Amino acid sequence: MKNWDVETVRKDFPVLHREVNGKPLVYLDNAASSQVPQMVIDRGSKYLAEEHSNVHRGVHYLSQHATNAYEAAREKVKRFINAREAAECIFVRGCTEGVNLVASSYGRRFINEGDEILVSQMEHHSNIVPWQVIAEERGARVRMIPINTRGEIIIEEYEAMLNERTRIVAVSHVSNSLGTVNPVKEMTATAHKFGVPVLVDAAQSVPHFPVDVQELDADFFVFSGHKMFAPTGSGVAYGKREWLDKMPPYQTGGGMIRTVSFEKTTYAPIPEKFEAGTPAIANAIGLGAAIDYINGLDFNAAAEYEHSLLEYATERLADIPEVTIIGTALEKASVLSFTIEGIHPHDIGTILDQQGIAIRAGHHCAQPVMNFFDVPATARASFAFYNTREEVDKLADAIQKVIEVFA
């Protein structure tokens, strides 16, 4: 494994040095939201303190300065995901808004009565419900791509579901509830044989390993900033120009128009067409700073270290007889979901919190996954490159204490 100096990296994140309930914080809730490094905090503060103004169409110094910073962040996103052009990168509030944008705009233009939308069984609700809404509006139907007991998409069944009625496929790059890494490049290539575009929910992949939208050949690729060390309220909906140019606006108002009259309105080109109103300027600049932070690391080494941490945590929890790991795919990233026989995940999370350990307990906005595994909820530990083996040991020891309390 490549050398990874986790203690030096941890110094970049102020919150990791605080105590919770009198214990050093062990933050293992990164799949819900990662922590923010000091340089990202400082960049946001600098903008608000010294540079704040509305972007675009302003001739004064601050407006031009803010516009340059905002558009520079878009250029950073383009390079980070290897988009063909910055205009294909639409700023949104997060992955949820990104999926809603595509479902609504693509759906109104391309989905009609009798058409089919393929959505995997392991999706977050934000990549299920928007498709259900547009399907109901357009007279289409959503079809579920099934998973197996390891939490992997059954590729043979997916391939058999594609047909002349399929209009789009929606699939997560990495499952937020199981940690499964899906073969999205291969799934996309298969869909393209039918002329079907693919939306990839990349909320759980972008923070954990390098991505390349051109290599994946993704038609749409959406992710959130707050899971990749950036402020909340930041995110990106990438789309190939060939689709975005044909899609109607998602929202309307200032900034997204070319001309307005009471007879007819014409729209601005992308990306402005999809960014109505004053954008979340500070958050977008913060996202750009988070990308700068990641680019300053050896991201491949970070990914390798994080994967070794997940393997170690899996081994530690697998050694506890009362623990059942939910999601045992051959390819996984970041997420370790589990149950303890006879103990509700909320009780697990509460007792762990008393030990200063932050995990997530619940259905993780993935109720179809919980139904498939016949559990009401799971406890979920999720890792970032600033977590340590010592923190994994604390997690395992605390789980033993949970079992003793309920014995």
Give residues with Cβ within 8 angstroms of 162, minimum separation 6: 118, 169, 190, 191, 193, 194, 196
pLDDT at 28 over 70: yes
Number of neighbours of residue 84 by Cβ within 10 angstroms: 12
Mean pLDDT of the chain: 97
2, pLDDT greater than 80:
no
The pLDDT of 285-312, averaged and rounded, is 97
First to last CA, the chain: 40
Is 1's pLDDT higher than 60? no
Chain centroid, CA 228 distance in Å = 8
**C-alpha neighbours within 13 Å on the C-beta side of residue 53:** 17
Strands 360-362 and 166-172: unpaired
pLDDT at 266 over 70: yes
Cα–Cα distance for residue pair 322/74, rounded to 1 Å: 48
Q: For 312-331, what is each residue's pLDDT tens digit?
A: 999 999 999 999 999 999 99
pLDDT of residue 407: 80
Q: Are 345 and 361 in contact (CB under 8 A)?
A: yes
pLDDT at 10 (0 to 100): 98
Dump pLDDT digits (tens) for 165-188: 999 999 999 999 999 999 999 999
Q: What percent of the chain has pLDDT over 90?
A: 99
pLDDT number for residue 404: 95
pLDDT band for position 385 (cuts 50, 70, 90): very high
Q: Give percent of the chain with pLDDT exceeding 70.
A: 100
Report yes or no: 342 and 407 within 8 Å, Cβ to Cβ: no
* Distance between CA atoms of residues 220 and 184, nearest Å: 12
> Residues with catalytic annotation?
365
**CA distance linking residue 371 with residue 378, whole number of Å:** 11
Q: Average pLDDT for residues 90-106, to the nearest whole number?
A: 98
Residue with tokens 């509830």: 177
At 225 the pLDDT is 98
Q: Which residues pair with 335 in a beta bridge?
A: 382
